[in-house]
A and B are shown apart, each in its own frame.
Chain A
Amino acid sequence: MFSNFQIFPEVASSMASKVDAFYFFMIGVSLFFFTLVVLLVTVFAIKFRRKSEDETPKPILGSLKLELIWTIIPFILSMVMFAWGAVLYFDMYTPPADAMNIYVVGKQWMWKIQHPEGNREINELHVPLGTPVKLIMTSEDVIHSFFVPAFRMKMDVVPGRYTTAWFEATKTGEYHLFCAEYCGTEHSEMIGTVYVMEPGDYQDWLERSAVASKSMAEEGAELYSQLGCNTCHEQETGARGPSLVGIHDRQVQLMTGELVKADDSYLRESILSPVSKVVAGFAPIMPTYKGQVSEEDVLKLIAYIQSLSYETAPSDIEATESERTE
């Protein structure tokens, strides 16, 4: 009946042991205060129990010294808790620069995952051991939340925007993936499995499970020409749209003079709602692609744009640079 009973979750990511250490600290502090309160109440309740009906205890008004003690000590401890928690939190949501990207789209009630190499999976996620993995996530419908208890990792997956989280698996095995934000009828079946594999095994898996031999960027490139993006976003100066070469994660200047980073979210917004943040020097003439491309298509397009680095198109560097300074 109670097969594989556990009292403590698996420790399978670089963050997991750090969260657990903090958890034990919190348990320690809590046990101390809980014991203190229970001890005080119990000892007083016994020692000062009513011995005769007409007792009149001596009134005690209070003590400023005690009030200060039990205000300041808990305050200091709570600030330690805050600081420790904040440092962990900052690390949890700051992916290392060399992390590999994996794209996640949640929908009622499944997880759709795509690797940059093009491999797709549903309700399964294969990752290599010891490699930081950054998840770029969005939802097609309601809010979901990507939760892997063994990694102590959780991030809401919100429609209309990208959210990111990262982890580095430290132990091979199979781990639960849960949807942690209530999302309707089959919320509790929006679950899956994370497979942590030796890097060599992961490469084998990538090859074995490849359906088409196209990477996400290649699929994006196809979409790019199918949708006719290239007719405007040409790479020479004077085109109707800005060149997209090397633009990913770089600062761009908008019509309003504002500088924004052309990150995944910005690119997504520019595809689905093009007139909201137009790059300086261009007219707001791009039509919206909302309804024509799915969230997964948008991710492919972004993967393609990300692949357009200067190295792949060296001749365009000058053009882009001059455009940027305009």
Chain B
Amino acid sequence: MSTTVEASHHSGTGENYLTAGYGLKSWLMTTDHKRIAILYLLSISLFFVIGGLFAVLIRIELLTPAGDLVSADSYNKLFTLHGLVMIFFFLVPSIPAVFGNFLIPIMIGARDLAFPKVNLASWYVFTIGGLFTFAVVLAGGVDTGWTFYTPYSSTYSKTAVGLTAIGVFITGFSSILTGLNFVVTIHKMRAPGLTWFRLPLFIWAHYATSLIMLLGTPVVAISILLVFLERVFGIGIFDPALGGDPVLFQHLFWFYSHPAVYIMILPSMGVMSELIACFCRKRIFGYSFVAFSSLAIAVLGFLVWGHHMFTSSQSIYAGMVFSILTMMVAIPSAVKVFNWAATMYGGSISYETPMMYAFGFLGLFTIGGLTGLFLGALGLDVHVHDTYFVVAHFHYIMVGGAIMGYLGALHFWWPKMFGRLYPEAWAKLSSIVIFIGFNLTFFPQFLVGYLGMPRRYHVYPDEFQIFHVLSTAGASILAIGYAFPVVYLIWSLVRGEKAGPNPWNAKGLEWTVPSPPTTFNFDETPVVTEEAYDYSRPVEGKVV
């Protein structure tokens, strides 16, 4: 892209956002979007490790049909906390709060987000929500499942539901603040010449995600607050014994929590477009179709919540409406996958680590998406609903899709964020280990799900054991795969080769500035004169 900034002026000249200030205060009081991204990176990495440890205990428990490692109550708390931590404290903030924060201003040629202080506030709100979650663990845990179904959560559970509700309520606001900031920034702060249809698809995906965050999160916050009010003050909203309607909660909860799935996957789709364009050296095939499919997913995603409730006693005709809309939300996802595949046609494809994750994403997300159709199809969902089939499906989307995208992003932009390269061979190896471990963990769960193994079972009949043994074996491999990057990425901070501004020879404004970028990103506002991913024009700061 044509900008007035010459990247080479800056490389090696010292000052960047990391060295702009030292000491804890310079980090805790920062309003620099890049530093806030790093704060989020540290926080969510901690939560990922905690959520992962819960998963490890769950998988070890399920190795045998009997409940021999932990008690039934402990098991119920483990899967509840695993879900809560992974969804609200890792997946929802993951790509937006780390890479969205870091990259959106740079990608659109801005110095920062529209509201830098609001951005910092969102991290503090997130941290306070996180502290509540730690308090929940200290208070003995919570056992409602991350779904908080009433009247179990509002009346019957004897665990720390109130504290958890407050934690989730508070954390929701960090996501609302982030979404608000992104929407305003993308509307108002684009560099001259950067029209909507010149934006990187990463920005489009985050725009769609932010709309869902803004419109959906308040609903889950209110629903959880209502559970809290019923539980603490006995106000009858959901418990039929108090004159309430327990199924009403499911409507309110899924009105947010289904779109929340798209909060988790859309940013990952945005990452895919960046990775595939860069490592194929091509403009994304059907750019505008990929851009609009993100918006279509965001809009349709709000109209399909009832597909979680086909066996809930919801009217069968309502079920039919939700089923047909669910089928329709699959179309824009299919359009994206085909466009990515078509982008590869006639490209110049290289297999660096981020592209390995893109390949992994394409395969796993396709399986996750297709099995979603099984669940959206009424007559089939009745059998597989609330079984391991569902567990397998959403892990293919959440881990196979969202986390593959997150790791792809981490490996793609790591050199930009820290100015260092990681050892490519180790990174590639770990991407393969993760891919194998993931499939071995979750594919058997489709089979045991169709056999009838229900979710959230602490003990189970003998005939399901072999599938759980395979799953646990896979999870062990997956855990090793996740451990690699922790080691080599930290190692790279100290010993890694200097990255230079554009190690991948990629297009995009973020690759025209030094690695790591300076505090204000650009010395002068860049002027954009070309389309996104125009690899037919010379790449700036090219590594020769």
Chains A and B belong together in one complex: yes
Chain A positions near chain B (C-beta within 8 angstroms): 1-9, 18-19, 22-23, 26, 29-30, 33-34, 37-38, 40-41, 44-45, 48-51, 55-63, 66-67, 70-71, 74-75, 78-79, 81-82, 84-93, 108, 141-143, 145, 147, 149-150, 152-156, 158-161, 163, 176, 178-189
Given A26-B374, A63-B286, A93-B316, residue A5 in contact with residue B466 (CB < 8 A): yes
Q: In the complex, which of the residues B241, B247, B339, B451 contacts A149, with contact meaning CB atoms closer than 8 Å?
A: B451
**Cα distance A153–B147 when bound, in Å?**
23
Closest residue of chain A to B344 (Cβ to Cβ) is A44
A37 to B245 Cα, complex, angstroms:
45
The residues of B that contact A78 with a CB separation of less than 8 Å are 327-328, 330-331, 373
Does B162 sit within 8 A of A, measured CB to CB?
no
**Would you call B145 an interface residue if the criterion is a C-beta within 8 Å of the partner chain's C-beta atoms?**
yes
Size of the B side of the interface (Cβ < 8 Å), in residues, is: 95
- Chain A residue numbers with a CB within 8 Å of B535 are 56-57, 59
Residues B313 and A158 in contact, CB atoms below 8 Å apart: yes
A152 to B241, CA, bound (A): 31
What are the residues of chain B within 8 A of A41 when measuring CB–CB?
Answer: 341, 344, 359, 362-363
Q: Is B457 an interface residue (CB 8 A)?
A: yes
Instruction: Tell me, in angstroms, the Cα distance from A63 to B345 when the chains sit together.
Output: 13
A60 B282 Cβ-Cβ under 8 A: yes
In the complex, the answer to whether A62 meets B286 with C-beta atoms within 8 Å is: yes
Q: Does B338 contact A (CB under 8 A)?
A: yes
Residues in A with CB closer than 8 Å to B319 are: 89
State whether the Cβ of B455 lies closer than 8 Å to any Cβ in chain A.
yes
Binding site for A on B (CB under 8 A): 67, 72-73, 76, 143, 145, 147, 149, 151-152, 155-157, 239-241, 245-247, 280-283, 285-289, 310-313, 316, 319-320, 323-324, 327-328, 330-331, 334-335, 337-339, 341-342, 344-351, 359, 362-363, 366-367, 370-371, 373-374, 376-383, 385-387, 447, 450-452, 454-463, 465-466, 534-536
A38 and B365 alpha carbons, distance in the complex (Å): 11
Residue of A nearest to B283 (CB): A59
Question: A48 and B349 in contact (CB under 8 A), knowing A22-B379, A85-B323?
Answer: yes
Cβ contact of A181, chosen from B286, B381, B386, B447, cutoff 8 A: B386
- Please name all residues of chain B whose beta carbon is closer than 8 Å to the beta carbon of A176 when the two chains form the complex: 452, 461
Of all chain B residues, the one with the shortest Cβ separation from A1 is: B465
Q: Which of B245, B289, B320, B378 has the most CB of A within 10 A?
A: B378
B456 touches A6 (CB 8 A): no
User: Which of A40, A61, A71, A145 lies in contact with B386, CB distance below 8 A?
Assistant: A145
Most buried by B among A78, A108, A158: A78
Contact of B465 among A2, A51, A108 (CB under 8 A): A2
Listed from nearest, the 5 A-B pairs whose CB atoms lie closest are: A88-B379, A149-B452, A160-B240, A85-B377, A89-B378
Is A34 in contact with B335, judged by CB distance below 8 angstroms?
no
Contact B341 A67 (CB under 8 A): no
Closest residue of chain A to B144 (Cβ to Cβ) is: A182
Q: Please determine whether A152 and B330 come into contact, CB atoms closer than 8 angstroms.
A: no
Q: Would you call A183 and B152 a contact (CB within 8 A)? A: yes
Partner of A67, one of B156, B289, B461: B289
Q: Which residues of B contact A57 (CB under 8 A)?
A: 280-282, 346-348, 535
Q: Please report the C-alpha to C-alpha distance between residue A301 and residue B18 in the assembled complex, in whole angstroms.
A: 75
- From residue A179, how far is it (CB to closest CB) to chain B in Å? 7
